[in-house]
Structure 1
Amino acid sequence: MQPPVAAVVEAHGTLERLVAHVTDQQLAEPSALPGWSRGHVLAHLTDNARMFARLAEHALRGDLVAAYDGGVDERDAIIEATAGRSAAEHRARLAAHTARLEAVWARAGEEDWKRPVTFRNADLAATVRARWREAWIHMADLDLGVRSDDWPEDLATHVIAFLLGRLPAGTRLYAEDARREWSVGARPGTVVTGRVRDLAAWLAGRPPAVSPVAAHGLPALGPWPPHPPSSGNGQRVLRS
C-alpha cells in the first residue's frame, strides 16, 4: 500500500498557513500541551521533519541510522534549544525541513517504501504515516485555530487504528458518522460511541469537540505504542 504522501504534503500546507502570521509573543505563550509553549510545539514539528528526512535519505541508500543518536534526550535538547526562535526563524526552518522531507520522499519508488528504518522498527512508509499524525495532532496543540474537528476523516480513522492498543481488551469503538467500528480482542466489553474525529482525539489524548460516551464511563487509556528503547536504563513516553 502506498503511503499517504500527498495527504502529508497537504497537511504541511495547512501548517504553513496556520503559522504564516504568528507573532513572537504568540509563540512564547503556552500551547495546549502542558509544559510546552507554542514555540516548543513548532520546534518539535520542525525537527521531526528533519529527523524523518534524515531517516529517509539513509534508507534510500540502504543504511539504518537511529532517529536520534542520543535518544529521547537529544530530541528534547533540540526542542529546548530551538523553541525560543523568532517567528520568522521558526517559519524559515520549518519551510526548509519540510521541503527537504518532501523532496526525499519524491525520490522513493514503490519498493523503496518497504525499506527498513529504526523509527518504531518499521519501514519507510510508516514514517510517512507518522508524520501525518504528527502534523495534524500538533497543529491542534498549537491552539491557533485548528482543532481535532478539522482533521481529515481518513487521518482520524488512521489515528484510531494506530492507537487501539491504548484500550483495554474487549473495548469496541463505534463511529456514528462514519459507520465504522474497531474492536480490541474478541470478548465483549465496553462500547464507546462518538464521531470518528472525536474518537481519534480522545485516543490521542486531545480534547474532542464532543466527548465520546460509554454506558459506564470511558475506559482508562494506556500508554502510546512504545518507541524502541532509548539509550539509558529505561523508556520514556513521548508526547506523540
Structure 2
Amino acid sequence: MRRPPLTAVREGHRALETLVVGLTDAQVRAPSPLPGWSRGHVLAHLTDNARMFARLAEHALRGELVPTYDGGTAERDAIIEATAGRSAAEHRTELARQTVELETVWDRFREADWARPVTFRNGSIGTTVLARWRETWIHAVDLDLGLRPDDWPEELAAHAVDFLLGRLPAGTRLRADDMPREWSVGDDDPTTLVSGRVRDLAAWLAGRTPTVPPTAARGLPALGPWPPHPTPTPRASR
C-alpha cells in the first residue's frame, strides 16, 4: 500500500482541536445530532478511536494481530459511556494526549509498514489512517460547533464517497458538479443519476445534512447500511 495521507489527517486533528478550544461543560452535556449521544459521547468516541488505532499500530509494528477491542463492540460502547461525562477541560486534554500518541506511533512507520495487517475492517495500518481521516471530519460535524460538511477538504469528501458508495443500490451513478469525478455502482448503464457538489454527496452518503441536497430526476435512492467489514483475505502460512 502506498503511503496514506498523513499530513491531511494531521490537519483534521488540528481542526478538531481548534473546534473544541472554547467548549464549555454545559456544551459537553448537551445533545449532539446523533441519537442518544451528547457532545461528550462524540468526544469520548473520537478520543478512544485514537487510542484504539494507536494500539493496533503498536502491535502491528511488532508483527502482532490483535482484536480491535478485546471485548468487541460492547467494550467500545462501555468506554464511551464511561468517559462521556468528563468535563470540557478533561475532554480537551485527553483528546490531545491520545492524538499525539497516535501520531507519534505513525511517525515510526516506514514505507513498507503501512501494509501491515490489522483486524479493524480486516485491513492494514494504512486503511486505519484513512478511517481516522473520515472519523475526524465526520464526527467534527456531529459536535455541532460550527464546522459543516462545506468545511471538509475536497480530497476527504471524494474519499468518503469512495468508501460509502456501497450504501447505494446497483444502477446508481454519482456525478460531482464541482470536480471531474463520477462514481458508478454495479452497472455500466445506470438507471439513476445523482448529482451535487462533492461535499454534499459525501455528507448525504454519510447520513449528515448537506448544505445543498444532491438531486436525482426521480428522487434520491434510499441508502443501505454503512459498509460492512470486508471478509478477511486468507494469508499464506509460514
Q: Normalising by structure 2, report the TM-score.
A: 0.95
DSSP-derived class of the 1:178 partner: coil
Contact 2:167 2:223 in 1 (8 A): yes
Q: 1: distance between equivalents of 2:190 and 2:8? A: 35
Match of 1:133 in 2: 134
Q: 1: distance between equivalents of 2:19 and 2:44? A: 15
Contact 1:119 1:228 in 2 (8 A): no
Contact 1:172 1:191 in 2 (8 A): yes
Q: 1: distance between equivalents of 2:191 and 2:84? A: 44
Deviations 1:118-142 (A, max 9, x none): 0000011000000000000000000
- Say if 2:195 is the partner of 1:206: no
- Say if 2:91 is the partner of 1:90: yes
Query: Deviation at 1:227?
Result: 3.1
Q: 1: distance between equivalents of 2:67 and 2:186? A: 33
Q: Normalising by structure 1, report the TM-score.
A: 0.94
DSSP-derived class of the 2:195 partner: strand
Structure 2 letter corresponding to 1:104: V
DSSP-derived class of the 2:64 partner: coil
Contact 2:172 2:185 in 1 (8 A): yes
Match of 2:28 in 1: 27
Match of 2:195 in 1: 193
Contact 1:27 1:38 in 2 (8 A): yes
Query: Deviation at 1:228?
Result: 6.7
Q: 1: distance between equivalents of 2:221 and 2:150? A: 22
5+ long unaligned stretches in structure 2: 232-238
Q: How does 1:13-162 map to 2 (within 5 A)?
A: 13-162=14-163
Query: Deviation at 1:2?
Result: 1.2
DSSP-derived class of the 1:191 partner: strand
Q: 2: distance between equivalents of 1:175 and 1:188? A: 16
Q: CA separation of 1:228/1:169 partners in 2, compared to 1, >3 Å: closer, same or farther?
A: closer
Q: CA separation of 1:121/1:110 partners in 2, compared to 1, >3 Å: closer, same or farther?
A: same
Structure 1 letter corresponding to 2:155: D
Structure 2 letter corresponding to 1:195: R
5+ long unaligned stretches in structure 1: 230-240
Query: Deviation at 1:21?
Result: 1.1
Contact 2:57 2:105 in 1 (8 A): yes
Q: 2: distance between equivalents of 1:73 and 1:41? A: 16
Deviations 1:32-80 (A, max 9, x none): 1111000000000000000000000000110001110111111000000
Q: Between the two proteins, what is the percent identity of the paired residues?
A: 72
DSSP-derived class of the 1:21 partner: coil
DSSP-derived class of the 1:197 partner: helix
Q: 2: distance between equivalents of 1:12 and 1:210? A: 26
Q: How many residues align?
A: 229
RMSD over aligned CA atoms reads 1.0
